[in-house]
Structure 1
Amino acid sequence: MGLAVCKRPCCWGRCGPCCHGAPGEEGSGSGTAGTHRANRFKSVYSYMPRTSQDLCLQKGEVFEVLHDHGQWLFVQQGERTGYVPRAFAASEDSLEAKDWYFGKLSRLDAKRFLLQPMNADGAFLVWWNEEVDCYYLSVRIRNLARHYQIQASSNTFYLVQRKKFPSLEKLLKHYYNNADGLCTKLELPCAKLDAPSLPSLSHNTIGDLEIQPRSFEKIKELGSGAFGTVWLAKWNGTTEVAIKELQVSAESMKNKMQDEAETMWKLNHERVLKLYAVCLNADPVFIVTEYMRNGSLRRYLKGHRPKRDLGFHSLVDFSIQIAQGMDYMERMGCVHCDLRSDNILLTEMLSCKIGDFGLASFTDNQSIQVIADMKLPIKWMAPEVFICCRYSIKSDVWSFGVLLVEIMTYGRIPFPDINNQAYINNMFTRSPLSAPEGCPENMADIMRLCWAMERTDRPPFKDLEKNLTKLIDAGLAEDMVQ
């Protein structure tokens, strides 16, 4: 019998049998008998086929890798073959295949993940801390996260000297049955809702920046403004994406979009929305990105405005994530030009991704020329944009300070007491901006750093990330259990 390509229908979001298994339990799932274990992989996330050549997989299923195509694998399970994303799979016996292992994280990430509402007391995860080169066990108890450093020596792992184990898995099994000094005994692994961003729409579009517009079907409008209209759409009838239509008519502008997109789609960072394609043969033209179900940061903040119940730690967490993404953009030589809360998208686990690159540019120079007909968000713009029509990464730093105002006011329009023309006049007269009423002084200090009139006086995003982290260092330190 020949090998068959998987074409069976499959529901979005279904989980395999090991989705919430106890530590050490293996998910069921078929594999090829006699397969060399070096080629046996396990699906870490469920995968819905995007093309007829893909393999449908449920989380926890085991398969054999036949061919490695970089970011995509051609695999076999039983008599079925097909493509799956490399990021969705891990070697069967590896740590990465475990439900409870989250790879490289920070304390902020671990805490944010554990405190999601779908996790209860005893939810836990293991992560690698690059700062100190060791594993940590993080556990939820009520509305707190406790982080325990895992000591390792001579092929043993332990939290305390009196209880040593030959593997991380056996260590977890022990605390699954008995708290034995932990804040609570372990229950279910932390929910893993955020699947990795894929490097391309599918295995056969890796080199295709320009995609035919007829392969997309609009589903519903998500929002619109002066910069375009955003739609939820489906590519190939299978894959949800976001498309942003741009009113661009001049051929020169289309060519500029093409040049910029060819570089921007290579951006690869967890805090940056993935650009998949452009459609310059459509009318209007549009760009294609991954789709974020939780929408914009501004919408999320506005939803919490009546109760103002997010807490300072959560607000600073959003700020730090955005600074991390902008630090990557700064290192890549990419200026965004439209950094505001409407253009920050949230994953299901409330991780931030910087989106909307309609005005972004790559430059080797200190700044770029602002084109006369560019539609800029006035109250986010730095003085040099109005005074000398120049924009740089330091102008993005200014915009970041205004974005901090949005975050601290739960998504309100910044500087409501002045209109756009008054804002521009203030830039020419070098009148300083003011932090919003009630803003903590240490956060206001960071805003003022961003609003230095001389752009060379504004700090790099790496320094802003460090300064923001210091605001919540004390709280993070209290979460650590030595």
Structure 2
Amino acid sequence: MSDNILEEIFIKRSQQKKKTSPLNYKERIFVLTQEKIAYYDYDPDKGKRKGLKGTVDLEKIKCVETVQPEPTGPPERAYPFQIIYDEGPLYIFAKNEDVRAEWIKKLKEMVRFNKDLMQKYHPCFWVDGTWLCCQQEVKQAMGCKVLDGFTSKPSRRRGSRKPLPPTPQEEKSARPLPPQPPEQPSRFVGMTVIAEYEYTPMTPQDLELRKDEEYTILEMTDQNWWKARDKYGKEGYIPSNYVVEAGNGLERFDWYCKNMNRSQAENLLKTENKDGGFLVRDSSKAGKYTVSLFSKGGDVAGVCRHYNICTTPQGQFYLAEKHHFSSIPDLINYHQHNAAGMVSRLKYIVSNRAQPPSTAGLGYGVWEIDPRHLTFIKELGNGQFGVVKYGKWQGQHDVAIKMIKEGCMSEDDFIEEAKIMMKLRHENLVQLYGVCTKQRPIYIVTEFLSNGCLLTYLREGLKQHPTSVQLLEMCKDVSEGMAYLESKQYIHRDLAARNCLVDGHGTVKVTDFGLSRYVLDDEYTSSAGTKFPVRWSPPEVLLYCKFSSKSDIWAYGVLMWEVYTLGRLPYERLNNTEIVEQVSRGLRLYRPQLANDKVYTIMTSCWGEKADERPTFQELAFAVQDLLYELQ
């Protein structure tokens, strides 16, 4: 076919067999396209492919690497490589090194923008219940070898045990600014997209979006703002997260609610209160989908049921064993007319599309905001940088405005990086919209989240006793936001429940990331009231003031503890001096009553004595996702 990029006969090792034997290895024809890898049965007599045996969507791939050959393997299995995705490792054997190198290079190029790329992998095979490289006996165990491009720096030690104040100038020279997001592949230029949301132009350079209408993409040099043309020939910039490629993906269907978790789905369905109300959301298992369905069925209050969409080995989708479909839209269409084993057929579409996502800035190229366009409505609190107020931009857009106290921040350095920080966009980060720097005090304008601080929400905002799923979803939100920051080389340095916010749907977002780097030493007091947040800090920060992504990992474990104690103060009976002494000797927080052993294991994995013993945020996000999947 003309859209095939690569096609080759490989030997494939079965992923399903518990024991490895010669029967596990079969020749398959592999075909690589822009969207997936498909492999087919192979007829050596006719030299042709037969039936489809399986597929892997490229967007689900987390790692592509070589594998060390089997110690006693035959010559035809001398050039193995692995494709890691949510189902585990797919082992493939090439005929020679050139073919293997060609496929690995092409695959790495095509998946380099995937959000779930791994930082560690297993260089040897998983054989008969054991990783040959590290002898671990858990198939989902963290990799034992760091991928090229991910390195850890040696610790810097000094004689004194007294913590030093952080030095922004030193940290700035040691760690470069995060890289600009890479340009999108040029193959997307010229594609047709459909608007998921209405967008009213904020600047003369912007283009209006009308829901469900088609637009042609002209330029993608900024990953957050694409230049487009509408059907009338008018051109301008549009927010890239407001559109979806025409004819591709579930985003064009109103029943698909991307980035919605189980608790949010239940709240939305119960609010609509329609028998047969449904939506489709991302499962907690990466790359999977769930149908959430509300049914009254004699129960006045009604109940929510959740059905995972399953996939056959041939790549077909089903909810009921006997009814398979080639696509998820076909499956939904069938079950809108037939219950087929569910408590009800899918009668009414319930959607959260009314609320558009945040844009990176308030218009293309807008990062300096005119303070005359801001209306201050009420004070939200007084944080470490100054007063925070709720307000409106141009009288209609909700914003939070931080009024920075004069003399507490290295303003020039921050203003320069604000342009880059605005390009950071993730559903679990509070979006920076812009700054007001032409007057003093300067303002930082961000997304406004109606449920406020996570710590207060845990203590006072939960209307009923939270479920285990709800608590784990909060932790998942933070881990995914931090995994994104980790990928951009940002260190938070003050991660805690007080520095996370909660939106109207219950989604948790991390805020104030990167700001502490610009706080002047003689003025810096963290939001915990000390030179740094002692109760959230690991030994290397308490003793040597060494901040890194691994110190953020420690703080995340403490944040999980805050979530599962509904906002209690860590080490509540100890003062700061006692915490420094006892944590350095091995003291760790106890298991909260609401946390089971698996949850507590994730927490304690964050509190390794040595920084390199702790997982990455990407690995933590996977671990939390797996637990959520078990609960659902």
TM bin (shorter chain)? 0.7 to 0.9
**One-letter amino acid of the counterpart of residue 587, structure 2:** P
CA distance, structure 1, for counterparts of residue 288 and residue 558 of structure 2: 37
Q: Which residue is equivalent to 1:6?
A: none
Question: Is the 8 Å Cα contact of residues 263 and 469 (structure 2) preserved in structure 1?
Answer: no
CA distance, structure 1, for counterparts of residue 288 and residue 565 of structure 2: 38
Identity among equivalent positions (%) equals 30
CA distance, structure 1, for counterparts of residue 548 and residue 520 of structure 2: 10
Q: Structure 1 pair 98/466, CA: closer, same or farther in 2 (3 Å)?
A: closer
TM-score, reference length from structure 2: 0.58
Question: Is the 8 Å Cα contact of residues 291 and 306 (structure 2) preserved in structure 1?
Answer: no
Q: Which residue is equivalent to 1:197?
A: 358
**One-letter amino acid of the counterpart of residue 282, structure 1:** Q
Q: Which residue is equivalent to 1:434?
A: 589
Q: Structure 1 pair 448/101, CA: closer, same or farther in 2 (3 Å)?
A: closer
Of 295, 315, 333, which residue of structure 1 is paired with 2:452? 295
Q: Which residue is equivalent to 1:234?
A: 392
Structure 2 alignment gaps of length 5 or more: 1-189, 296-302
CA distance, structure 1, for counterparts of residue 239 and residue 420 of structure 2: 22
Q: Structure 1 pair 124/348, CA: closer, same or farther in 2 (3 Å)?
A: same
Question: Is the 8 Å Cα contact of residues 137 and 150 (structure 1) preserved in structure 2?
Answer: no
**1:333 aligns to 2:489 (yes or no):** yes
CA offsets 1:60-86 (integer angstroms, 9 cap, x no match) = x45453774642566658899986534
Q: Structure 1 pair 187/254, CA: closer, same or farther in 2 (3 Å)?
A: same
CA RMSD, 1 decimal: 3.8
Q: Structure 1 pair 410/65, CA: closer, same or farther in 2 (3 Å)?
A: same
Moved more, 335-344 or 259-268: 259-268
Question: Is the 8 Å Cα contact of residues 72 and 83 (structure 1) preserved in structure 2?
Answer: yes
CA distance, structure 1, for counterparts of residue 288 and residue 624 of structure 2: 24
CA distance, structure 2, for counterparts of residue 182 and residue 238 of structure 1: 43
Question: Is the 8 Å Cα contact of residues 324 and 331 (structure 2) preserved in structure 1?
Answer: yes
Q: Which residue is equivalent to 1:144?
A: 305
Q: Which residue is equivalent to 1:448?
A: 604
Q: Which residue is equivalent to 2:138?
A: none
CA distance, structure 2, for counterparts of residue 323 and residue 169 of structure 1: 31
Q: Which residue is equivalent to 1:217?
A: 375
CA offsets 1:285-319 (integer angstroms, 9 cap, x no match) = 22122222232222322235685x11122111211
CA distance, structure 1, for counterparts of residue 469 and residue 212 of structure 2: 40
Q: Which residue is equivalent to 1:349?
A: 505
Q: Structure 1 pair 350/80, CA: closer, same or farther in 2 (3 Å)?
A: same
Q: Which residue is equivalent to 1:178?
A: 338
Q: Structure 1 pair 219/305, CA: closer, same or farther in 2 (3 Å)?
A: closer
Equivalent pairs, count:
420
**1:318 aligns to 2:479 (yes or no):** no
Q: Structure 1 pair 73/124, CA: closer, same or farther in 2 (3 Å)?
A: farther
**1:98 aligns to 2:258 (yes or no):** no
CA offsets 1:84-122 (integer angstroms, 9 cap, x no match) = 53433446765432201345x6xxx45234212425453
Q: Which residue is equivalent to 2:48?
A: none
Of 50, 65, 75, which residue of structure 1 is paired with 2:215? 65
Question: Is the 8 Å Cα contact of residues 62 and 77 (structure 1) preserved in structure 2?
Answer: no
Of 106, 114, 128, which residue of structure 1 is paired with 2:265? 114
Question: Is the 8 Å Cα contact of residues 290 and 306 (structure 2) preserved in structure 1?
Answer: no
**1:414 aligns to 2:570 (yes or no):** yes
Moved more, 287-296 or 445-454: 445-454
Question: Is the 8 Å Cα contact of residues 100 and 126 (structure 1) preserved in structure 2?
Answer: yes
Question: Is the 8 Å Cα contact of residues 126 and 136 (structure 1) preserved in structure 2?
Answer: yes
SS in 1 for 2:349: coil
The Cα shift of 1:334 comes to 0.7
Question: Is the 8 Å Cα contact of residues 309 and 318 (structure 2) preserved in structure 1?
Answer: no
**1:125 aligns to 2:279 (yes or no):** yes
Question: Is the 8 Å Cα contact of residues 42 and 97 (structure 1) preserved in structure 2?
Answer: yes
CA distance, structure 2, for counterparts of residue 327 and residue 127 of structure 1: 21
**One-letter amino acid of the counterpart of residue 197, structure 2:** Y
The Cα shift of 1:232 comes to 1.6
Q: Which residue is equivalent to 1:283?
A: 440
Q: Which residue is equivalent to 2:34?
A: none
**1:44 aligns to 2:44 (yes or no):** no
Question: Is the 8 Å Cα contact of residues 289 and 308 (structure 2) preserved in structure 1?
Answer: no
**1:247 aligns to 2:405 (yes or no):** yes
Q: Structure 1 pair 202/289, CA: closer, same or farther in 2 (3 Å)?
A: same
Q: Which residue is equivalent to 1:375?
A: 525
Q: Which residue is equivalent to 1:32?
A: none
CA distance, structure 2, for counterparts of residue 158 and residue 445 of structure 1: 34
Q: Structure 1 pair 321/212, CA: closer, same or farther in 2 (3 Å)?
A: same
Q: Structure 1 pair 445/164, CA: closer, same or farther in 2 (3 Å)?
A: closer
CA distance, structure 2, for counterparts of residue 62 and residue 471 of structure 1: 37
The Cα shift of 1:201 comes to 0.8
SS in 2 for 1:391: coil
CA distance, structure 2, for counterparts of residue 146 and residue 118 of structure 1: 20
**One-letter amino acid of the counterpart of residue 433, structure 2:** Y
Q: Structure 1 pair 144/224, CA: closer, same or farther in 2 (3 Å)?
A: farther
Question: Is the 8 Å Cα contact of residues 134 and 150 (structure 1) preserved in structure 2?
Answer: no
CA offsets 1:444-472 (integer angstroms, 9 cap, x no match) = 33333323333333322233233334444
Question: Is the 8 Å Cα contact of residues 41 and 62 (structure 1) preserved in structure 2?
Answer: no
Question: Is the 8 Å Cα contact of residues 137 and 149 (structure 1) preserved in structure 2?
Answer: no
**One-letter amino acid of the counterpart of residue 196, structure 2:** V
CA distance, structure 1, for counterparts of residue 192 and residue 545 of structure 2: 57
Of 348, 361, 367, which residue of structure 2 is paired with 1:188? 348
CA distance, structure 2, for counterparts of residue 261 and residue 415 of structure 1: 35
**One-letter amino acid of the counterpart of residue 524, structure 2:** M
CA distance, structure 1, for counterparts of residue 468 and residue 317 of structure 2: 35
Question: Is the 8 Å Cα contact of residues 275 and 288 (structure 1) preserved in structure 2?
Answer: yes
**One-letter amino acid of the counterpart of residue 215, structure 1:** H
SS in 2 for 1:183: coil
CA distance, structure 2, for counterparts of residue 276 and residue 132 of structure 1: 29
Question: Is the 8 Å Cα contact of residues 391 and 399 (structure 2) preserved in structure 1?
Answer: yes
CA distance, structure 2, for counterparts of residue 434 and residue 171 of structure 1: 47
Which of the pair has the greater relative contact order for Cα pairs under 8 Å at 6+ separation? 1
Question: Is the 8 Å Cα contact of residues 65 and 73 (structure 1) preserved in structure 2?
Answer: no
TM-score, reference length from structure 1: 0.73
SS in 2 for 1:256: helix
CA offsets 1:384-407 (integer angstroms, 9 cap, x no match) = 333222211121112112211210
Question: Is the 8 Å Cα contact of residues 192 and 217 (structure 2) preserved in structure 1?
Answer: no
CA distance, structure 1, for counterparts of residue 292 and residue 370 of structure 2: 46
CA offsets 1:388-446 (integer angstroms, 9 cap, x no match) = 2221112111211221121012123333222344434545x535132265253523333
CA distance, structure 1, for counterparts of residue 417 and residue 234 of structure 2: 40
**One-letter amino acid of the counterpart of residue 600, structure 2:** A
SS in 2 for 1:201: coil
